[in-house]
Each structure stands twice: as structure tokens, then as C-alpha cells.
Structure 1
Amino acid sequence: MPSSKNSQTFPYIACVLAFIAIAIMIGLGIWQLDRKAEKDARLDQIQQAQAQDNVDIAKVAEEPYLYEDFIVSAKGNANNQIFFIDNKIVSGKPGYHVLVPLQTNQGMVMLNLGWVSSTGSREVLPKVKIPMLSEIQGVLYIPTLNKIITETNSRYGQFPVLLQQVDLEEIKKHIGKPLLPFVLRLTESAPQSESNFIRDWQVVTMSPEKHLGYAIQWFGLAIAALTVFLLTMLKWMNGPQHRLEQTEQD
């Protein structure tokens, strides 16, 4: 009788790899659902905060973290020390966020005036005109730093300044004055200028719906992989047995 030992060897390694791959895909799907829940909670927080009455800057200066996403009112004078924040995309077009300092009775705070389009070269920054500002309303934003990004502009005191991200410590070195630990993003109702700043603030980088879509994709891939694995195992189980029966009959 011909030996059927090789044909009946159970594919342990293939099974382990299949289970690991399926587990990873399920885990990624669950992670995307968790991210969706976080984004939903974040958007709800923003909506609730901005539904409140405007808060005066004097109230938030000492504990800004309690008022993140609130609309803050402030009075002061903006100067022409312009900061361009690089790599900001709007409708697929590259550009910059434009920040200027505003001197208030509570201290100096950075204002984000909005987005302007790039000139096509980082060597030639856009020419912008600062709107006339004395009383402003802006959404309180506390910038976080991307540690991967390394700042390269060390020409302190030379304006305009091109920065890779909103780094308040770095901005302090350029203006030589202390800053309040947050940024005010001007609302759409704030005065414009000839520069026509776009103030469509992206509070989350990816919508909850996209996270849900990715979760469905990962779960779909897991189901497909499991189906292929089961069909392959069924074929393997039937194949050797059939050949064994044929051998015994011979």
C-alpha cells in the first residue's frame, strides 16, 4: 500500500499564520471602531462648548484647558509679526495658516487668522494684509507638538517667519515676549482683509464615518480570510481521505 503520510500531514504553520492574520484584522477593525467613538465624543464636546455663551479671555487665561473649543472674546491690538505655518491643505491645495500676536490686558496671545494659498515656492511666502482687529472672537485651541517634526527656522526676530507647526515656545523666541498657552482661531464672522483668509477649521483629521468605513473593511477582510481558510481546510480534509480510500480499494 502506498504511504499517505505526507498527504495527511496537518498544516500547523499555515493554520497559525491564518489565525494570526485574522486576529490582526479583527483587532484593526475594533481599533477603528474605538477611534470612531473617540471622534464622536470629541465632536460632541466641541458642539456643546460652542453652544455656550462666549467666554472672556480674562476668565480662561489661567486655566485654558477647561475652555478648549469654547469661543473666547478678547480685546487688543494685533501687530504685523506674521508667522506662516507650513503644510496646511484646503480642498487639495497647499498653503499656510497665518498667525499674528495680539496684545491684550491678560497678555499676548497668538491669533490664527486662517488659511492662505501657497505661492508654489517656500522661498516666496504669500503677501498678506492683516485685518483691522480690536475686538475678536476665536475658538480656543491648545496646540500639541508632533515630535517627529524638527523645526529648522532659527532666524529669530526676522519676519515673516515660516514654521513647521504651531510651537509656542519657538514663537516666543521670535517675538521675545511671553505668550498665553493657547491660540485663538478666528471665527468666520471675524473681519476679513484683502487676503480673504479661509477659516474652515478641521477639528479632527479624519471623520467618524471614515473610521467606520475602515472598520467595515477590516472586518470584511477578516471574514473573507476566514472563509478562504475554512474552504481550504475542508478541501484538505476531503482530499487525503479520498486518496486513502482509493488506495485501500486498489
Structure 2
Amino acid sequence: MLVKLGFWQLERAEEKQLLFDDYESQQIIEAKPLSSIKDLNATQHRFTYVSVSGEFQSTPVLLLDNKILDSTVGYNVLGFFHPDSAKLPVQLVNLGWIPAPKLRSDIPEIDLPKGNLTLTAYVYFPSQNELTRNSFEYATDNDSVRIQEAAPKALAREFNATISSHLLLLETPENIGWQRDWEPQVMKPEKHYGYATQWFSLAVACLVIFVIAVIKLNKQSKKEEETQ
């Protein structure tokens, strides 16, 4: 069991390394027009660097809950972006992080960028979980909506819109949006390797204890036989 857990951690480390590799590989290439990519999918296009022109829908503004940056709780600000290209559906764009107000009852009022813009962004595929009605909390005094998960299918149903199955993590223009760092926010491969080492070490320790115990039992059996 311990050896199996060790190999499982090695598999997880490999998965995380591929995730970081996918992200790093996109830092050195030019953005591809989003409309030029066919059959966009999570397997081939994770963190693909793209460009798209259009404008933000002014409302609603979505606030993705429980996002922590530098030990401070806040929100990721998401907006609906309407591309100029008729080929593309509405894009859900993550514009970055803002700190949460002190009072949980306060839902911040946010103004999205106006006018026609050309964005560069990383393609990100969120979960497709089904959300309950309680996953949406509408502000009483502004157009913000607090959400618990950025699940495109559920958002499309809630807001009666055709939305892409991915998110765009905004990179440029740098003068719009809020604080952002899109490096994968997951446990790094090094930690998984550390856990694997611990499991394998425990397996070795158990094996050593087992061998010592067997040797002692054999010696004890021989002594009992000699006394008889």
C-alpha cells in the first residue's frame, strides 16, 4: 500500500509538471487569433496564448469567490466579452484579483473596461460542474454577482447566454483589469516528489521491521526447539 501511494505521488508530480510546462511554453510565442483555432479543447489547448477583439458587456460583473492572494481573501473579476468575429461565442474573461471587503455582506461594485479592445489571454478550462441556485448571490445595490465556481454551462443557463466552454485569463492590455498571476495555482511537482519519498521510506522501514521481526521469531522458535 505504501509503495502504491509512492507511485501515485510520482504520477501526480508528472501531471503537475506537464501543467507547468504547458504554461511556460506559451510565454515565448506570439498570441494566436482565437478565431483561427478549430476544436478548442482542454487536451491540446491548455494555456494556449490567444488574441481576440471585441468589447465587454457592462453587466453583470461576476465575482468568483474565495480567491486568495498573498494570504488575503478576495475575488477574481469575470466579465462577458463579445468578440467582433461572428464565429465566436461570448467569451468569459478573468480580469484579475481584487481584495474582498471586510464585511461578507458587501459585494463590491466593479466597472468593466469600455470600448473596443484587443485582448491577449491564456485559454483555461474550468470545471463543468452543475451549480445550484444558491451558487449565485446577487448584490442588492449594484450589478455584481458573487459566484462559487466558474462553470460555463451553469453560467450560460443562469444568464441565458451562449458562452464558450473555456475562460480567458487576461494578459494584455496591462492597463485594464486587476492584479493577476496566471502561473498554475496547484501543488508544485517538488512537493509530490517529497511525499513520494516519504511513502517509499515508510515502505522500506516497514520492510526492515518485518525482516527483523521474522528473524527474531525464527531465533525464538529455534531456542524453544532446543530446550525441548
Task: Specify the TM-score bucket, using the shorter chain as the normaliser.
Answer: 0.7 to 0.9
1:213 is paired with a residue whose SS is helix
- The answer to which of 201-210 and 123-132 deviates more is 123-132
The CA deviation at 1:189 is 5.5
Give 3-state SS (helix, strand or coil) of 1:26's partner. helix
- 1:75, 1:104 within 8 Å by CA — same for their partners in 2? yes
Tell me how far apart the structure 2 counterparts of residues 198 and 240 of structure 1 sit (CA, whole Å): 71
Partner of residue 105, structure 2? 123
Identity of aligned residues (%): 27
**Separation in 2 of the partners of 1:239 and 1:109?**
74
Structure index of larger Rg: 1
> Do 2:63 and 2:78's aligned partners in 1 also have CA atoms closer than 8 Å?
yes
**Aligned runs of 1:30-41 on 2, under 5 Å?**
30-41=7-18
- Residue 141 of structure 1, CA deviation: 1.2
Give the secondary structure class of the aligned counterpart of 1:222: helix
Question: Does the CA contact (< 8 Å) of 2:110 and 2:144 recur in 1?
Answer: no
1:125 shift after superposition: 2.1
> Residues 217 and 143 of structure 1: is their aligned pair in 2 closer, same or farther, counting only changes over 3 Å?
same
Equivalent residue, structure 2, for 1:18:
none
Question: Once the 2 structures are TM-superposed, how far is the Cα of residue 121 of structure 1 from its aligned partner?
Answer: 4.2
Aligned counterparts of 1:151 and 1:201: Cα–Cα separation in 2: 29
Paired residue for 2:33?
56
Please give the alpha-carbon distance, in whole angstroms, between the structure 2 residues aligned to 1:45 and 1:182: 16
Report the residue type matching 1:168 in the other structure: P
Q: What amino acid sits opposite 1:118 in the alignment?
A: A
Deviation at 1:139, TM superposition (A): 0.6
**Aligned equivalent of 1:69:** 47
> What is residue 212 of structure 2 aligned with on the other side?
231
How far does residue 57 in structure 1 lie from its aligned partner after superposition? 2.1
* Cα shift at 1:151: 5.5
Letter in 1 for 2:126: P
Distance 1:90 1:155 in 2: 22
Letter of the aligned partner of 2:39 in structure 1? E
224 and 150 in structure 1: CA distance in 2 versus 1, 3 angstrom threshold: farther
Instruction: Give the TM-score of the pair, scaled to structure 2.
Output: 0.83
Secondary structure of the residue aligned to 1:180 is strand
- TM-score between both structures, scaled by the size of structure 1: 0.76
Alignment of 1:104-115 (within 5 A): 104-106=83-85, 107-115=89-97
Which one of the candidate residues 118, 124, 127 is aligned to 1:144?
127
Query: Is the Cα contact below 8 Å between 1:168 and 1:181 reproduced in 2?
Result: yes
Q: Which moved more, 1:82-91 or 1:213-222?
A: 82-91
- The more displaced of 167-176 and 70-79 is 167-176
- Secondary structure of the corresponding residue to residue 203 of structure 2: helix
Q: Kindly tell me: are residues 154 and 83 of structure 1, through their superposed partners in 2, closer, same or farther at Cα, counting changes over 3 Å? A: closer
**Alpha-carbon deviation of 1:162?**
1.5
Deviates more, 1:102-111 or 1:151-160: 151-160
Does the 8 A contact of 1:156 with 1:173 survive in 2? no
Aligned length: 219
- For the pair 1:162 / 2:139, whether they are aligned, the reply is no
**Partners in 2 of 1:153 and 1:225 — Cα distance?**
47
Separation in structure 2 between the aligned mates of residue 154 and residue 144 of structure 1, nearest angstrom: 16
Q: Which amino acid in 2 is paired with 1:152?
A: N
Distance 1:232 1:85 in 2: 55
What are the equivalent positions in structure 2 for 1:1-250 lying under 5 Å apart?
24-60=1-37, 62-65=38-41, 66-78=44-56, 79-106=58-85, 107-131=89-113, 134-146=117-129, 150=132, 152-153=134-135, 159-187=143-171, 190-192=174-176, 197-203=178-184, 205-245=186-226, 247-248=227-228
Cα 1:226–1:121 change in 2 (3 A) is farther
Unmatched 5+ stretches in structure 2: none
